[in-house]
Amino acid sequence: MTELLDDFENEDPFATAGLRLTVDLTALTENWKDMARRSGRARAAAVVKADAYGTGIEDAGEALYMAGARDFFVATVDEGVTLRLYAPDARIFVLSGIWPGTERRFFENDLVPVISSEEQLAFWMAVLSEYGDYPCALHVDTGFNRLGLAMDEAIALADDVSRPASFAPVLVMSHLACSDDPSSPINRHQLESFRRVSAAYEGIDSSLAASGGIFLGSDYHFDLTRPGISMYGGEAVSGMTNPMRPVVTAEARIIQVRTANAGQSVSYGHSVQLKRDSRLAIVSVGYADGYMRSQSSTGVPLRQSVPQGGQAFIAGRTVPIAGRISMDMTIFDVTDLPENAVRAGDYVELFGKNVAVDDVARAAGTIGYEILTSIGLRHERRYVVDDESDAI
């Protein structure tokens, strides 16, 4: 009995998991370094919001910090508090800004709030009057109409001699709405608007470009760039061959391989009728794991770009989804593989080096960002470096 318990204790959870997620930290840091080189004279920050785009803010944040990143962007104060443990002397900007009751967490963890509205600005001025000098960033809207102070308001604030001396922004920033489309005239319009803002805050760092903006060229780089999706291997620019290394590989175990006859139907709604005798692999992944139902081969609306649905990779080739994806299971048609090439217990690659995450996204009618940030909690994670030579 003791020997049996010892065997259980030594069991590798990754080897036995129904869902596996491998994060290549070497690829992640090399992608960041690539974007830093493309940023020219500007420093490159690292955007690690949404749990580092689903890869894990602790491991990804530490790897990026060790690679040299010293400016980070998170969405919430909770993310900033977590990241501080792994990036001890980095500047960490919190994009959602500061709210009443969160001041202590900002100060204790040396987090920099990004001020994006009149209400936040008024509250921040009150905080400074009570606590004294503390850095912040100003987010200015140059045409996105999401977050940001109005341009006229931001420029007037820069010239306001009555503003408190303790109000000293360390960064002024904006965000491009169409950077994934280099031909969009909106990019140039926002650039010219941001130049006006940047000039008003002379001597203070400026930041406009996220991943797509970096590819637009040096005019958009200013002092600090903010690569995000590109670091994680996703496409930042539509219609351009993606130069980034894949970072995340998602795999799922085959529960059963079954045969079905021509004329029979598959999965919910019987929306697929088999045209030939088929072999079907039932795989332990579904929309509860972020494997979106909209990838189903049929029976779902709103998808046009990839009407046949999604694919996975196994035994050296891609295989299509058959029927509708359900909560915990997806069916793949493996008829065209050699009969002994696939068996229960094998793993299929959902996305990774052989199936690009953005191809999965297109099949689902969405973008790579959503696929990565929708990864469910049931994936057993493994972190590797040096092209999987060492696991973490």
The rounded percent of the chain whose pLDDT value lies above 70 is 93
- Per-residue pLDDT for 34 more than 60? yes
**pLDDT value at position 350?**
97
In terms of pLDDT, which residue wins out, 165 or 33?
A: 33
31 in Cβ contact with 230 (< 8 Å): yes
Work out whether strand 347-351 and strand 169-173 pair parallel, antiparallel, or are unpaired: unpaired
The rounded percent of the chain whose pLDDT value lies above 90 is 83
**pLDDT value at position 9?**
65
Work out the mean pLDDT of the chain and round it to a whole number.
Answer: 92
Question: In the 3-class helix/strand/coil scheme, how is 48-94 assigned residue by residue?
Answer: CHHHHHCCCHHHHHHHHHHHCCCEEEECCHHHHHHHHCCCCCCEEEE
Give dist(CA 116, CA 140) in Å, integer.
7
H or E stretch at 196: helix 185-200
**pLDDT value at position 275?**
95
83 in Cβ contact with 48 (< 8 Å): yes
Give dist(CA 354, CA 28) in Å, integer.
17
Which residue among 131, 134, 232, 268 is the active-site one? 268
**pLDDT value at position 241?**
95
In the residue annotation, 232 being an active-site residue is answered as: no
pLDDT band at 251 (very low <50, low <70, confident <90, very high): very high
- Per-residue pLDDT for 116 more than 80? yes
294 in Cβ contact with 312 (< 8 Å): no
250 in Cβ contact with 290 (< 8 Å): no
In the residue annotation, 268 being an active-site residue is answered as: yes
Which residue among 33, 49, 201, 220 is the active-site one? 49
* Each residue's pLDDT tens digit, 363-373: 888 899 999 99
**pLDDT value at position 160?**
85
* Each residue's pLDDT tens digit, 1-17: 566 556 556 678 999 99
User: For the purposes of burial, counting CB atoms within 10 Å of the CB of 264, is it exposed (0-12), middle (13-18) or buried (19 or more)?
Assistant: middle
- Per-residue pLDDT for 378 more than 70? yes
**pLDDT value at position 386?**
80
**pLDDT value at position 306?**
59
* Each residue's pLDDT tens digit, 38-94: 999 999 999 999 999 999 999 999 999 999 999 999 999 999 999 999 999 999 999
* Each residue's pLDDT tens digit, 139-185: 999 999 999 999 999 999 998 877 777 888 999 999 999 999 999 99
41 in Cβ contact with 67 (< 8 Å): no
- Taking the C-alpha atoms of 109, 115, 121 and 125 in order, what is their torsion angle to the nearest 10 degrees? 30
All domains of the chain in start order, with CATH: 25-232 (3.20.20.10), 248-391 (2.40.37.10)
The 10 Å Cβ neighbour count of residue 309 is: 22
Which phi and psi angles does 260 have, rounded to 5°? -145, 150
Minimal CA–CA distance to 357: which of 281, 245, 254?
245
Two tokens at 154?
A: 């931001």
* Each residue's pLDDT tens digit, 309-352: 789 999 999 999 999 999 999 999 999 999 899 999 999 999 99
**pLDDT value at position 389?**
42
- Per-residue pLDDT for 215 more than 80? yes
Which amino acid makes up residue 342?
V
**pLDDT value at position 166?**
81
**pLDDT value at position 6?**
60
